[in-house]
């Protein structure tokens, strides 16, 4: 009887999973909100990035025809989910694909994921307008 209790306790302990990080839970929720069928969203390989407040992973969800489309990469930054096939990204746009690749580098190596940094914009001037010319007037 004692051996049975020990085995039952071990099975129970090994089936317990640690609580999910709150930032990962928020990322999954944000991605699910952007797909056609939020209840169908599946996730794998979801991890915190080296850059604080950033999450990277893969998702799969059903399309309008009710079929799963296959796993795609997503990034979650400052409360927003970024997916290459979803607004504001266009998978056919070379700059969008390059920025998405930039997000992967920032995730794994650290850095600033902002779009302005990627395109080389300087910080806002004293007037509050972004200086898109790249010089510091």
More confident: 110 or 13: 110
pLDDT bucket at 95, cuts 50 / 70 / 90? confident
48 located within any domain: yes
81 located within any domain: yes
Strand partners, 81: 76
Do 91 and 109 contact (CB within 8 A), yes or no?
Answer: no
26 located within any domain: yes
11 located within any domain: no
Percentage above 90 pLDDT, the chain = 49
Cα-only R_g, the chain: 21
pLDDT at residue 103 tops 70:
yes
Task: Please tell me the predicted confidence (pLDDT) of residue 20.
Answer: 87
Do 26 and 12 contact (CB within 8 A), yes or no?
Answer: no
pLDDT at residue 35 tops 80:
yes
**DSSP single-letter state for residue 35:** S
Task: Please tell me the predicted confidence (pLDDT) of residue 137.
Answer: 35
Task: Please tell me the predicted confidence (pLDDT) of residue 44.
Answer: 97
72 located within any domain: yes
Task: Please tell me the predicted confidence (pLDDT) of residue 76.
Answer: 95
First-to-last C-alpha distance (Å) of the chain: 81
Q: How many domains does the chain have?
A: 1
87 located within any domain: yes
Task: Please tell me the predicted confidence (pLDDT) of residue 121.
Answer: 61
Does 91 sit behind a cis peptide bond, omega within 30 degrees of 0 on the bond before it?
no
pLDDT at residue 42 tops 70:
yes
Do 123 and 132 contact (CB within 8 A), yes or no?
Answer: no
* Domain encompassing residue 76: 18-119
Task: Please tell me the predicted confidence (pLDDT) of residue 100.
Answer: 87
The Cα–Cα gap between 130 and 124 comes to: 4
Coil/strand/helix, residue 88: coil
């Amino acid at each position: 009887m004692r051996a049975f209790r020990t085995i039952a306790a071990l099975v129970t302990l090994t089936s317990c999973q640690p609580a999910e990080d709150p930032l990962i839970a928020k990322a999954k929720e944000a991605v699910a909100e952007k797909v056609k069928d939020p209840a169908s969203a599946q996730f794998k390989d979801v991890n915190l990035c080296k850059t604080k407040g950033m999450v990277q992973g893969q998702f799969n969800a059903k399309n309008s025809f009710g079929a799963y489309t296959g796993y795609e990469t997503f990034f979650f930054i400052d409360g927003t989910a970024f997916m290459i096939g979803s607004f504001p990204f266009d998978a056919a746009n070379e700059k969008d694909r390059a920025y998405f690749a930039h997000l992967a580098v920032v995730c794994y190596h650290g850095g600033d994921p902002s779009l302005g940094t990627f395109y080389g914009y300087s910080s806002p001037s004293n007037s509050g307008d972004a200086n898109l010319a790249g010089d510091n007037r």
